[in-house]
Amino acid sequence: MKKSKGILTLIGVLVAMVALGYVAIFGIGTEKAGAASEIKLGLDLAGGVSITYQVVGDEAPSDEDMSDTVYKLQKRVETYSTEAIVYREGTDRINIEIPGVSDADAILADLGKPGALYFISQLDSQGNLNYIYTGEGVEEGKSGFVLNKTLEEVIADEGSIVLTGTDVASAQGGSMQDSMGNNQFVVALSFTEAGTMAFAEATENAIGQTIGIYYDGDFISVPTVQTKISEGQAQITGMESYEEAERLASQIRIGGLKLELEELRSNVVGAQLGSEAIKTSLYAGAIGLALIAVFMVAVYYLPGFASVIALIIYTILTVLCINMFELTLTLPGIAGVILAIGMAVDANVIIFARIREELATGKTVRSSVDIGFKKAMSAIVDGNITTLLAALVLGLKGTGSVKGFAQTLALGIVLSMFTALVVTRLILKALYAIGLKDIKLYGVAKEKKTINFLGKRKVFFGISIALIVAGFVFLGVNKTTTGNILNYSLDFVGGTSTNVTFNEDMTLADIDAKVVPVFEEITKDANVQVQKVAGTNQVIFKTRTLEIEERQALTDALVADFGINQELITAETISSTISAETKSDAIVAVAIATVCMLLYIWFRFKDIRFATSAVVALLHDVLVVLAFYAAARVSVGSTFIACMLTIVGYSINATIVIFDRIRENLELMSKKDALEDVVNKSISQTLSRSIFTSLTTFIMVAALFVLGVSSIREFALPLMVGIVCGTYSSVCITGALWYVLKTKIQKNA
């Protein structure tokens, strides 16, 4: 690159950074706000709509039917937001909370009346046509449905209903190619065993005719039957867009509920946390970013300066993409983004370490930069693709917070690879081109003394086993003393929702300062969630399950301290917001993701022992952090899943770097070299990377812990433990474990 081109490149990068930053903060045009202010926020940050449904009918619904309904509603409302939650209230009510919206009527109109979906044939039991279709755009006299015909009239015709919504196992919107090679949007249906038999009979009798899908007072689709469908799979074609196909699929899914529901009440609720929580979190992020910038420049000189610019661009791009892809951001999500900033430094650290190693061999700066990027490529790509595979699986198979976490994780991985491999390299080459060629500006790696890590492997293995065993002991003690192995929050075990109407409209800050302490004193628990109902003086407090005596004590305290009318205080038992099905979905998603990571590492390293060691180390880190949760009694809520998944991604990425160096050194290994020396050398060569990456990530999380609100601290504290544990396992456990497997199992897998 010539000097003039280098100058133009640097100017272009700076202009792009300023322009992107301007768009993120101020937006484009006079009527548009910046992307940062347009990001969808979760219930905890911006509030949303809360809808309560009640089961129709006099008989009390079974727990099984209620659980099934909650789970299916959860899948439905996730089309609005991955952070939407559904939970049970009392014996026959279900609450839905959808963040980022403020029009309850629009949501109710779109969501429809859950339950009561029917597949209705136009033929009666004698095979006679029942109705004449008078819809727009249909040939005159063609048989079909009158779309405004009421349901009671329909079911009066014997044999009209051929299936109900409960006969549908799944409904998904998608696209396919027709016989002409053109893309068309479809809804793919699969039926239960009973539904398969009923649909086969219905379609056999209705070839060339229509079977209408009736839901919430109208026919939502009237497809024509082309042939008998007996395999339990069907497609509805003719949709104009993917959004239309997914909307129809969602209506069919929600219409497949076992219970019919009716709206009991709907409210617009305010943010659970005040604006101060957002400010302190962002303030912590800014401080952490500044500390990392100082660290990178102080340690890596000119390349460190290049990485700081790339890191700023990465942060801006993250904000823009979160807005562009309409991801919903919660407070733990902010923590996840800030954490990703720390982890994004990792690729730069790997590259800069490689550049210094090449400079130490006497190569020129230009050559060292090229070779450094080339040699670092495999470790960066393998580590990020492994984590990206996990994110994709979690995004496809997970639900709720797991899906939201996966989306943010995938976005961070792609952007960090781009900024490290493209932006940082471009800036470095431009700086070199304008004359910054002195080797002192880049630093030269000093000869590293090889540390005998493997010689201490029995000690390391012993420490790990002791920590894990201690964790199980704490789990057992907790089970004996409290009835739960961990300190589960409302998200996992449910609790009591207390609705209080105050005499005045109190601010969230006043509620936190004056009212929440009353709840904490009576419940002896700091886990109190607060929501204000917009346009009223009502406030909803969610706590652990309260006994009758505690409820009365709370009522007496509120009446005495705030002069509230006792009749304006109501309480209901609520279920966990993380259902059993959601937990099982998360476990299945993590299991599949782990298998995918194992297969990828096996494929890339041509040795299943690498994959096995990586997965064992991953399990080790999860168990050690779980032991910390049990010993420290840290609250286990929705952030617990995100915390564990973050540790999994962090652990696997750190391990890949060491394995990549072992693989490289094995290819250079001579007959005189002992395998133990090669492993020790590889770990020692990557030790600075392991320490520096962990330190930068730790700085970000520590800033959150010191400056963040209580819910952020509960997320940050276990993460700090996970970072330390992940560094320990990658340096002290994974290489040693691979060595043991390699020497005990000689034949390559």
What's the confidence (pLDDT) of residue 332?
62
Mean pLDDT of 444-472: 93
Model confidence over 374-388: pLDDT tens digits?
999 988 898 888 888
Lowest mean pLDDT among 281-290, 467-476, 638-647: 638-647
Lowest mean pLDDT among 80-94, 195-209, 448-462: 80-94
What's the full length of the chain, in residues? 749
Model confidence over 94-120: pLDDT tens digits?
988 888 777 777 777 766 667 668 888
Q: Return the half-sphere exposure (C-beta side, CA atoms, 13 A cut-off) of residue 688.
A: 19
Q: Is residue 688 situated within a structural domain?
A: yes
The packing angle between helices 735-744 and 457-482, to 10°, is 110
Residues 298 and 347 in one domain: yes
Q: Is residue 695 situated within a structural domain?
A: yes
Residues 279 and 366 in one domain: yes
Which domain range does residue 544 map to? Answer: 495-574
Distance between CA atoms of 638 and 649, rounded to whole angstroms? 18
Q: Is residue 270 situated within a structural domain?
A: no
How many other C-beta atoms lie within 10 A of the C-beta of residue 311? 25
| Tally of domains within the chain | 3
Q: Is residue 189 situated within a structural domain?
A: yes
Bridge-based pairing of strands 328-329 and 40-41 is: parallel
Distance between CA atoms of 261 and 245, rounded to whole angstroms? 24
Q: pLDDT higher for 326 or 334? A: 326
What's the confidence (pLDDT) of residue 261?
83
Indicate the residue type of 541: F
Res. 25 pLDDT band, cuts 50 70 90: confident
Distance between CA atoms of 376 and 364, rounded to whole angstroms? 18
318 CB-contact burial (10 Å; exposed 0-12 / middle 13-18 / buried 19+): buried
Residues 591 and 625 in one domain: yes
Residues 589 and 726 in one domain: yes
Look up residue 91 and give its DSSP letter: T
Judged by DSSP in three states, 213 sits in strand
Distances 88 to 44, 70, 96, 193, 257 between C-alpha atoms, Å:
19, 7, 9, 29, 15
What's the confidence (pLDDT) of residue 653?
81
Contacts of 281 by beta carbon, 8 Å cutoff, 6+ apart:
331, 334, 335, 338, 704, 707, 708, 709, 712
H helices of 184-274, in order, are 193-205, 242-254
Q: pLDDT higher for 282 or 734? A: 734
17 CB-contact burial (10 Å; exposed 0-12 / middle 13-18 / buried 19+): middle
Distance between CA atoms of 647 and 654, rounded to whole angstroms? 11
How many other C-beta atoms lie within 10 A of the C-beta of residue 384? 23
Residues 290 and 432 in one domain: yes
What's the confidence (pLDDT) of residue 293?
92
Q: pLDDT higher for 333 or 714? A: 714
Indicate the residue type of 282: L
What's the confidence (pLDDT) of residue 746?
59
Contacts of 271 by beta carbon, 8 Å cutoff, 6+ apart:
41, 43, 44, 45, 46, 47, 508
Lowest mean pLDDT among 397-411, 596-610, 620-634, 703-717: 397-411
Indicate the residue type of 429: K
Model confidence over 477-494: pLDDT tens digits?
999 998 889 988 888 888
Convert 271-284 into a string of H (helix), E (strand) and C (coil): CCCCHHHHHHHHHH
What's the confidence (pLDDT) of residue 247?
82
In sequence order, what DSSP letters do the residues of 282-348 get, joined into one string? HHHHHHHHHHHHHHHHHHHHHHHHHHHHHHHHHHHHHHHHHHHTT-EE-HHHHHHHHHHHHHHHHHH
Two tokens, residue 617: 């180390």
What's the confidence (pLDDT) of residue 128?
46
Residue with tokens 């998360």: 586
- CATH code of residue 133: 3.30.1360
How many other C-beta atoms lie within 10 A of the C-beta of residue 290? 13
573: left (phi over 0), alpha (psi -120 to 50) or beta: beta
In this structure, are residues 119 and 611 in contact, taking their beta carbons and an 8 Å threshold?
no
Bridge-based pairing of strands 529-532 and 261-269 is: unpaired
Mean pLDDT of 651-677: 88
Residues 509 and 444 in one domain: no
Residues 588 and 712 in one domain: yes
Question: Would the pLDDT of 186 be above 70?
Answer: yes
Res. 538 pLDDT band, cuts 50 70 90: very high
Q: pLDDT higher for 73 or 178? A: 73
- Domain end (from 256, 289, 304): 256
H helices of 398-456, in order, are 400-418, 424-433
Q: Is residue 217 situated within a structural domain?
A: yes
Q: Which of 48, 103, 45, 37 shows the shortest CA–CA distance to 322?
A: 37
Distance between CA atoms of 725 and 464, rounded to whole angstroms? 10
Q: Report the chain's mean pLDDT, rounded to a whole number.
A: 83
- Domain end (from 256, 289, 310): 256
Question: Would the pLDDT of 159 be above 70?
Answer: no
In sequence order, what DSSP letters do the residues of 139-191 get, joined into one string? -TT-B---TT--HHHHHHSTT-EEEEGGGEEEEEEEEEE-TTS-EEEEEEEEE
Residues 279 and 376 in one domain: yes
Question: Would the pLDDT of 607 be above 70?
Answer: yes
The packing angle between helices 608-632 and 638-668, to 10°, is 150
Res. 12 pLDDT band, cuts 50 70 90: very high
In this structure, are residues 114 and 260 in contact, taking their beta carbons and an 8 Å threshold?
yes
What's the confidence (pLDDT) of residue 32?
57
Lowest mean pLDDT among 200-209, 391-400, 445-454, 466-475: 391-400
Res. 148 pLDDT band, cuts 50 70 90: very low
Residues 566 and 592 in one domain: no
What's the confidence (pLDDT) of residue 125?
43
Question: Would the pLDDT of 275 be above 50?
Answer: yes
Distance between CA atoms of 346 and 697, rounded to whole angstroms? 9
What's the confidence (pLDDT) of residue 748?
47
In this structure, are residues 103 and 269 in contact, taking their beta carbons and an 8 Å threshold?
no
Mean pLDDT of 498-523: 89
Q: Is residue 561 situated within a structural domain?
A: yes
Indicate the residue type of 383: G
In this structure, are residues 26 and 34 in contact, taking their beta carbons and an 8 Å threshold?
yes
Distance between CA atoms of 541 and 553, rounded to whole angstroms? 15
Share of the chain above pLDDT 70, in %: 88
Question: Would the pLDDT of 42 be above 80?
Answer: no
- What is the separation, in whole angstroms, between the first and last Cα of the chain? 46
Q: Is residue 18 situated within a structural domain?
A: no
Residues 639 and 565 in one domain: no
Q: Is residue 214 situated within a structural domain?
A: yes
Mean pLDDT of 421-443: 94
Two tokens, residue 253: 């899914």
Residues 622 and 669 in one domain: yes
- Domain end (from 532, 558, 574): 574
Q: Angle 499-505-508 (CA atoms, 0-180°, nearest 5)?
A: 75
Distance between CA atoms of 564 and 558, rounded to whole angstroms? 6
Two tokens, residue 700: 């970000």
Mean pLDDT of 599-610: 89
- CATH code of residue 554: 3.30.70
Residues 561 and 588 in one domain: no
Model confidence over 43-71: pLDDT tens digits?
767 778 888 888 888 888 888 888 888 88
